Amino acid sequence: MQMPTPDTAILSRRAAVLRRLAAALPEPALISDPAALRTYECDALTAYRCPPMAVVLPGSTQEVSACLRICHEEGVPVVPRGSGTSLAGGALPTADSIILGVSRMTEVLETSLADRIIRVQTGITNLSVSGAVEDDGFFYAPDPSSQLACAIAGNIAMNSGGAHCLKYGVTTNNLLGVTLVLMDGTVVEIGGGHMDAPGLDLLSVICGSEGQLGVVTEAMLRILPRPEGARPVLIGYDSSETAGQCVSDIIKAGILPVAIEFMDRPCIRATDEFSGAGYPDCEAMLIVEVEGSDPEIDEQLGIISQIARRLDPVELRVSGSAEESARIWLGRKSAFGAMGQINDYICLDGTIPVSELPAMLRGIADLSGRYGLEVANVFHAGDGNMHPLILFDANADGELEKAEELGAEILTLCVKVGGCLTGEHGVGVEKRDLMETQFDPADLEAQMRVKDVFDPGWLLNPAKVFPLSVSAGRRGIAAE
């Protein structure tokens, strides 16, 4: 993976830049010690690392504005960072950049149950948003697997989803407004506490923009009343293709479960050993959850069970209690951690039409065999958001590169069957050089013109999203 050559002129002014930043921030908010900077040299894509020039941790929108204004005047690139849980290298710094983290900005600023909104600083974790309103019977719907740690800032940057996005949508469907600080320090308000803002829909441009356009410091989010009840059914099959067909059949039947999750044998085995969830011995497993009143739940689970039985399941287990429901979900919620206990892996994030699931799973199996690397599949099957885990040995020469080549082929196949490179992890540096497999030059040019408007100097989140060969001229930095 290529990164732009550090600007030696910026590095030569490091001391002066740090003095200006120190004057604008309280003392603990500026980190410049080389040992302390190692904490910020990567995000959850740990294969690539680069210590930044410094880290700033503002505590308010005004402090963010001051930091960005200084960096704009000094020509210093800025990498926005939430909690650092990005799996696509979205917060990977360059040696001449400043990381601007929002981890100190965790306040709940406003809650209106009548209007079903909550306004928060964006350093707050995803799970803490629901925690702030759960006693009142409300919740925040998007639920990434990292929701205990990931920040709302990162959720907005990558348009994160989660297991329950099939029914409730991803971040963009639950985001009503933001406070955005532009690279020159200008603070703008976009959207607000209502369903539809007047004028251009700039909120949809900001959500999913991966820190390319500005730093989101506050967010107005939609909160929802908790459903009366929810219950899953566990369905096991003797092949991944059959499980994929079941997903497609459920969606075609017009049923809208709150979640449809998929795991194949390698993931089932690892998660069951890790959690003791009691999963069946099968090649592929689905967890399908519905919600509503007891009669509604019974009716929906009855239809789903009928669809599933047509494909001759190895096991079909409808939850009969809250304890059994928690046990069914236990392994799925710990899947990534369980796999990490037994192997190094790369977690991909491609999205495909649900009807293509059986063919896609066959394609992944064929590619896995060709490369000689095992692929474990765990993903949000209801909306076709796949997360193949490519298992490899990080200590073996060439294994990482081979795993990345396999990952590129899998993601390219997602595009070929009518899908896209990312569903919720973002492009970052991981998929940056694959963008030309999905977009032609005119498409990329149109997207880069949007960045030109918000960030004319191309100082925000350098070397992300756009291939360096395409964006080098705009940034004024030649690709290596």
The answer to whether 421 and 183 have CB atoms below 8 angstroms apart is no
pLDDT at residue 43, rounded to an integer? 95
pLDDT confidence of residue 480: 37
Please calculate the CA angle 368-351-468 and round it to the nearest 5 degrees. Answer: 85
Rounded CA gap, 134 and 136, in Å?
Answer: 5
Contact 92, 45 (CB under 8 A): yes
Q: What DSSP string runs through 211-246?
A: TSS-EEEEEEEE-EEPPS-EEEEEEEES-HHHHHHH
This prediction has a pTM of: 0.93
Residue 116, C-beta contacts closer than 8 angstroms, at least 6 positions apart? 138, 222, 223, 224, 225
Residue carrying structure tokens 């789903």: 304
Residue 131 confidence (pLDDT)? 97
Predicted pLDDT at 475: 60
| CATH class held by domain 343-416 | alpha beta
Tell me if domain 108-225 and domain 343-416 are identical in fold.
no
Domain ranges of the chain: 108-225, 230-336, 343-416
Mean pLDDT in order along the chain per 10 residues (480 residues) = 84 96 94 96 94 98 98 97 95 97 98 96 98 97 92 97 89 97 97 80 96 98 95 95 92 91 92 90 96 94 97 96 92 85 91 89 94 92 90 93 96 96 94 96 96 96 93 57
What does the alpha-carbon distance between residue 40 and residue 83 come to, in Å, rounded to a whole number?
10
Structure tokens at 42: 């990567």
Residue with tokens 């000689």: 372
**Per-residue confidence (pLDDT) for residue 341, from 0 to 100:** 85
Rounded to the nearest angstrom, the gap between the alpha carbon of residue 282 and the centroid of all alpha carbons in its chain is: 29
- Name the token pair of 204: 């949809």
How is domain 230-336 classified at the CATH fold level? Alpha-Beta Plaits (3.30.70)
Backbone angles phi, psi at 262, to 5 degrees: -125, 140
Q: Which pLDDT score is estimated for 474?
A: 75
The tokens describing 202, both together, are: 């700039």
Place of tokens 């925040």: 140
Fold of 108-225: 3.30.465
The secondary structure of residue 418, as a DSSP letter, is T
Q: Are 237 and 284 in contact (CB under 8 A)?
A: yes
β strands within 247-331, DSSP E: 259-264, 284-291, 315-318
